[in-house]
């Protein structure tokens, strides 16, 4: 049975605007622009027969998910497996501070060609770990629920690592973007399209 998953990045947040690293810290909420982006995401999804939205528990994702859910009239559930990556010691810092204090580590983290999939900041988690928990969740909804069209309110690295797991590398995924994944007979694929 073919199932469609539409994973969207939350709208612009106060930490995005301030140039701070967010990760799994939960002190950031949507800006006015972020709420407009969430409404735009609802427009992208309104004719996709979405049955449910699953959200990361972080405020910026829940707020985005709630705006979309209200506009397309579907329920919203929370699943911790869609939480943004834990980036350890750099969470909450300004990007300038990160580059000054941890520039070499940060460049290694951002490098798509880094062969060490287990690399992480002290106190954080690796991209490999993130992909594992994302696909644990996706496989659960694909194999153990009757939903055919599911949306997920998530985060930038969640979207990037979902695509990477399926062989698509994208440097930057703007706030409010949507990616499309398909599941059929225990096989995942993506058209690589980002709706924005």
Q: Which residues are catalytic?
A: 10, 84
Strands (E), 21-97: 52-55, 76-78
Per residue, the 3-state secondary structure of 97-159, as one string, reads: HHHHHHHHHHHHHHCCCCCCCCCCCCCCCCHHHHHHHHHHHHHHHHHHCCCCEEEEEECHHHH
The CA distances from residue 5 to 35, 48, 69, in Å, are 22, 10, 15
Identify whether the C-beta of residue 36 lies closer than 8 Å to the C-beta of residue 11: yes
Dihedral pair phi/psi, residue 79, rounded to 5°: -140, 115
Residue 39 exposure: Cα atoms within 13 Å on the Cβ side: 6
């Amino acid at each position: 049975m073919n199932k469609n998953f539409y994973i969207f990045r939350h709208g612009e947040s106060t930490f995005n605007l301030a140039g701070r690293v967010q990760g799994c810290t939960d002190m950031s909420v949507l800006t006015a622009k972020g709420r407009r982006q969430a409404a735009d995401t609802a427009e992208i999804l309104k004719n996709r027969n979405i049955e449910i939205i699953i959200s990361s528990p972080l405020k910026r994702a829940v707020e985005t998910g709630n705006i979309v859910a209200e506009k397309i009239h579907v329920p919203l559930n929370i699943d911790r497996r869609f939480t943004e990556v834990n980036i350890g010691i750099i969470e909450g810092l300004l990007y300038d501070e990160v580059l000054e204090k941890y520039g070499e580590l940060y460049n290694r983290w951002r490098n798509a060609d880094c062969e060490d999939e287990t690399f992480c900041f002290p106190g954080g988690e690796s991209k490999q770990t993130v992909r594992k928990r994302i696909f644990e969740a996706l496989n659960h909804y694909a194999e153990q629920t009757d939903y055919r069209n599911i949306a997920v309110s998530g985060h930038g690295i969640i979207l990037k690592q979902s695509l990477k797991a399926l062989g698509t590398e994208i440097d930057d995924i703007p706030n409010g973007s949507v990616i499309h994944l398909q599941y059929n007979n225990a096989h995942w694929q993506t058209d690589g399209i980002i709706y924005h």
